[in-house]
Structure formats: structure tokens, C-alpha cells
Chain A
Amino acid sequence: MKLLLTSGLAGLVFGAGLLLSGMTDANKVIGFLDMGGAWDPSLAFVMAGAIGVHMVLYRLILRRPSPLFASHFGIPTRTLIDHRLVMGAALFGVGWGLGGYCPGPGIVSATSGTAAPLVFMGTLVVGMWLFKVVDRTLRSREPSARSDDRRRSSARPVA
């Protein structure tokens, strides 16, 4: 229950931050990405504010042996910079510039009931599902596990 309340509160505060900072205004996002045109630098301050706070608190939090309401900290362990990471980020960036939405602002904006964020969230789910299908097909074609998968599975605590 406490875990659920924490997650819900984190989502609420995250959403409030997106709304206050201007991330839920797709035109502002596009304005930020228009660096060669009428550039609106304000969204750079969103990142500065978020990283400034989280960088400090993250380090203080990790001094604890475990989180408050869960057994262990789940920190990503992969370090390999592969084609998947680079290609995925590249595709995401094209979509971000095309629509002016990334996933968080898409979810928050969809509550307004307007067409653009609803369409965006609909096709985002399709895109995620499409990845699942493509990923499964690709993995079944190469029976030998990829190196970073081995590393990830070995990093899992033994039950």
C-alpha cells in the first residue's frame, strides 16, 4: 500500500512538474528543438532543474541499504553502447520533433481530451507493441544470447 501511494504521489508530482515547466505545451517543445530558428531555450532549464535536484538526492538516497518500501534498489546495470540504444534514441528524437510529445507529456496531455495527444498515445502504444513483435522475431533468429543480455541476467539476484 505504501509502495502504491509513493508511486502515485511520484506520478502526481512528476506530472505537476511537466505542466509547470511547459513540457505539456507541444509548441514549446518544438520551439526548444528549433535551435536554428526562433529558439526557445526555456526547456533547457527543465533539465537543469531536474538533474540539479535529482543528482544530489540520488546520492543521498543510495546511502541507505534499501529503499523505504521495496527490497532493493533497481539500478540499470548495462554499460554497452550498442546499435539498439543509438537507433532507438534516434527514432525517438525524430518522433519527438515531429509531434512535440515525449511519453510523459503525452500521457498528461491526453487528459485534456484533445485529438493530438490522444492520437499520439494511441499510436505510441502501437509502436511499443510493434517493437515487441520485431524484437521477438529478431531474437528467435539468433539463438545465441546477446552479450549484454547475459550480463543483465547474471546481475539479477539469485532467488
Chain B
Amino acid sequence: MAPTSFRLVVRREEDYVIPIDWIHALLGGGLIGLAASLMMWGAGRIAGISGIFGGLLSPSAGDIAWRVAFVGGLLASGLAATLAFPAAIASPEGRSVVEVGIAGLLVGFGVRLGSGCTSGHGVCGLSRFSRRSLVATLMFIATGVLTVTVLRVLGAP
């Protein structure tokens, strides 16, 4: 009788009914939704990261400090994680530096042309039922899936 009760105490990851990753994802997503709400509540701004960051490249007077503060907050969270939970940040395996460099070019150009990224369209836009954001989100998920699939078929992990 007694030994079996230990299995209830010592739980391994595979014992969870719902994978722990999914729970972290849901809670992390909740924090992202909270941050976007805080931005709208306090500053009246959409928490679209490509727009906030991109605005720093064509700075106009009086429109810089809040962008720097937001990006500074992002960087602070990254630094804290680098020190306390380094495993949370991981580079893509099987992608060369050249591929990652081309990825940056495409993302930088694409998010400006399409007026938003995963945060601006995917989170904020979908939350307010924007049709433009729905089209953009479906599009970038579709081409993202296509790209990963093509690379896998060609032999990348």
C-alpha cells in the first residue's frame, strides 16, 4: 500500500495530464495580454513591437522616450532571464548565421510593409477583431509553416 503513494508525490513531467509547456504558454500569453492592456490603459497605445521599435529608426520629437522605455523593459526582462533562467532563451538549431541574417532582413522589411508583427496584428489586432490583422496573421502563419516545411523537406532539422 504505502510505496504506491510516493508516485503521487514525485511527479515527473510525463505524469501531467496537460503538458507543462502548454500551461507555461497559456500563462505567458496571459502576461502578454496584460502588458498590451497596460499599454492601452496607461498610454493609449497598441503594444505592437515592430511599430514601437521601428519608430525609433525615424524618430520625431516627443515620440521617442516612451518607445525607449518599452524596449528597455523588454531588454530588462531578457537580462533578468539570462542571469536567472538562461534556458529560456535558445538559438535555432540547424539554422546557419546566414539564414538567420536573411530572416532578419525579411522580418524587418515585412513587418514595416505589412504594418505589424505577431504582437501588433496577432495579439492586439485580433483582440479588437480587426479584419486587416486577421488577414495578416493568417498570412504570416501560412508562409511561416510553408517555409519550415520546405526547409524540413530539404533536410534542415
Residue positions of A touching B, CB distance < 8 A = 2-28, 30, 33-37, 40-55, 57-58, 61-62, 64, 66-76, 78-81, 84-104, 106-117, 119-132, 134-135
Contacts and interface: CB of A to CB of B under 8 A. Distances in A.
Interface of B: 19, 21-22, 24-47, 49-50, 53-54, 57-58, 65-67, 69-79, 81-82, 85-86, 88-93, 95, 97, 99-115, 117-119, 121-128, 130-132, 135-137, 139-149, 151-152
Contact of B92 (A5, A6, A100): A100
Give the secondary structure class of A's interface. helix
Contacts of A10: 35-36, 38-39, 42-43, 47, 70, 73
15 contacts: A3-B42, A10-B70, A14-B35, A24-B78, A67-B43, A80-B132, A86-B114, A91-B106, A101-B100, A101-B104, A104-B118, A116-B97, A120-B100, A128-B108, A131-B108
A42 B18 CA distance: 11
Contacts of A18: 28, 32, 77
B103 A101 contact: yes
A42 B110 contact: no
A88 B151 contact: no
Given A11-B69, A67-B42, A86-B136, 20 more contacts: A7-B45, A17-B29, A20-B27, A21-B28, A26-B92, A49-B28, A53-B29, A54-B37, A67-B41, A88-B112, A88-B113, A89-B140, A90-B143, A94-B146, A95-B108, A97-B148, A100-B95, A104-B49, A104-B117, A134-B109
B29 A109 contact: no
